[in-house]
Amino acid sequence: MAATPQIGRGRTGALSLWLWKGVKVALTVAVTFLGLLLVTFVISRYMSVDPVLRAVGDRASQSTYDAMYRAMGLDRPVWEQFWIYLHNVLSGDLGSSFLTKRPVADDLARVFPATLELATVGILIGTLAGIPLGVVSAVKQGRAIDQIVRVLGLVGYSAPIFWLGLLGLLVFYARLGWVAGPGRIDIAYEYSFTVTTGLLLLDSALQGAWDAFGNAFSHIILPGALLGYFSMAYISRMTRSFMLAELAQEYVTTARVKGVPEWRIVWVHALRNAAVPLVTVVALSYAGLLEGSVLTETVFAWPGLGLYLTNSLQVADMNAVLGGTLVIGAVFVALNLLSDLLYTLLDPRTRRQVRP
């Protein structure tokens, strides 16, 4: 009879711990977004570019300029401008873009799927190539294959991505004709299927428009492989480091003494333990591709978030810049939370902290 209250208290304690963790996560997300909005908003208000001139043109009269200045709320204190903007954001209103003359939220919903599709192809290539290369490099430490993998990673880190993009277009598109050129899909296939999710590969495949799928794949494979190479350099290096640490553990020596096959020690036991920190590495690499593909999208004329932000910055379209920054922040926070969740699922030691 005495054990029942202890179990109840244990379950209550575990529930309280999970609730407290949820509250902390919510507070962290709220503070992160608030800080992100505040810093970006203040920087935008003190930029040297005059957003009013960008809106009315440099030949507008003084009265027109003053009217637009008041309409944009720039005559109010900065703290009041930020409060108004924060209220609008929480209401789902990101303002309108001076460049496209459309609501920023609509623009972001239109361009983000293109970046998501490109970054997803890139992270798939980077992960599927980077993890095996990192494992082989760790197993063959100091040998020729290890040196080759390390050199490939060094080139991926060092070479400017826009230079690699231009070189890839010159070789694989202009000279060899193996891939399609800049853009996302040829106009001949653009209306051969209905775009529902914004992911052209997925939409065309689901609707059986395989000609359009092939054309979209031909457009995405070169920039996707370029981003994949960039992420592969980081993932392979981190995989190598994690695997070297795991292969030096006592359980590996014990398994070898017991006669466990080497392939099973490496690809099952050691890699499974190394997969726990690798989750965070892959998640952060994915987030980096989602927000850091500006140069790639510019080189390949890819109509995604990076190109949208670049064009908006050039004309001081701060509503669009702030909205894009908010999306990037949301991506980082969401992927960090996802990696923490997967970390908990993969590492039993973290689950013991909340067991009753």
pLDDT in tens, 91-109: 878 888 877 888 888 899 9
| Model confidence at 75: pLDDT above 60 | yes
Residue that finishes a domain, picked among 42, 58, 90: 90
Q: What average pLDDT is seen over the chain?
A: 83
3-class state of residue 96 by DSSP: strand
Are 298 and 321 within one domain?
Answer: yes
Are 60 and 118 within one domain?
Answer: no
Are 180 and 82 within one domain?
Answer: no
Number of other residues whose CB lies within 10 A of the CB of residue 71:
11
CA distance 352 to 356: 9
pLDDT digits (tens, 9 = 90+) for 295-328: 888 889 899 888 888 888 777 777 888 888 888 8
- Give Cβ neighbours of residue 84 (< 8 Å, ≥ 6 apart): 73, 76
**Within a domain: 98:** no
Are 68 and 122 within one domain?
Answer: no
pLDDT of residue 117: 93
pLDDT of residue 291: 72
User: Band of the pLDDT at 136, cuts 50, 70, 90?
Assistant: very high
| Model confidence at 18: pLDDT above 90 | no
pLDDT of residue 17: 65
| Model confidence at 10: pLDDT above 60 | no
Are 188 and 58 within one domain?
Answer: no
pLDDT of residue 94: 81
Are 225 and 132 within one domain?
Answer: yes
Are 81 and 124 within one domain?
Answer: no
Q: What CATH number has the domain bearing residue 217?
A: 1.10.3720.10
3-class state of residue 103 by DSSP: strand
Q: Which domain holds residue 36?
A: 3-90
User: Looking at per-residue confidence, does 164 or 57 come out higher?
Assistant: 164
**Within a domain: 96:** no
Beta partners for 75? Answer: none
| Model confidence at 71: pLDDT above 80 | no
| Model confidence at 170: pLDDT above 50 | yes
Are 192 and 286 within one domain?
Answer: yes
Which residue, 225, 211, 105, is CA-closest to 165?
Answer: 225
User: Band of the pLDDT at 200, cuts 50, 70, 90?
Assistant: very high
pTM for this prediction:
0.82
Are 167 and 226 within one domain?
Answer: yes
Q: Round to the nearest angstrom and report the end-to-end CA distance of the chain.
A: 18
Residue that finishes a domain, picked among 90, 121, 144: 90
| Model confidence at 73: pLDDT above 80 | no
pLDDT of residue 205: 92
**Within a domain: 95:** no
pLDDT of residue 93: 80
Q: How many domains does the chain have?
A: 2
pLDDT of residue 226: 92
Q: Which of 61-65, 246-250, 267-271 has the lowest mean pLDDT?
A: 61-65
Residue that finishes a domain, picked among 90, 124, 140: 90
**Within a domain: 125:** yes
| Token pair 């670049």: residue | 310
**Within a domain: 141:** yes
User: Can you tell me the mean pLDDT for 245-251?
Assistant: 89
Are 86 and 113 within one domain?
Answer: no
Q: Which of 83-97, 145-159, 228-242 has the lowest mean pLDDT?
A: 83-97
Contact 300, 222 (CB under 8 A): yes
**Within a domain: 97:** no
**Within a domain: 181:** yes
User: Band of the pLDDT at 347, cuts 50, 70, 90?
Assistant: low
Q: Which tokens go with 131?
A: 């993890």
Are 84 and 123 within one domain?
Answer: no
Are 80 and 207 within one domain?
Answer: no
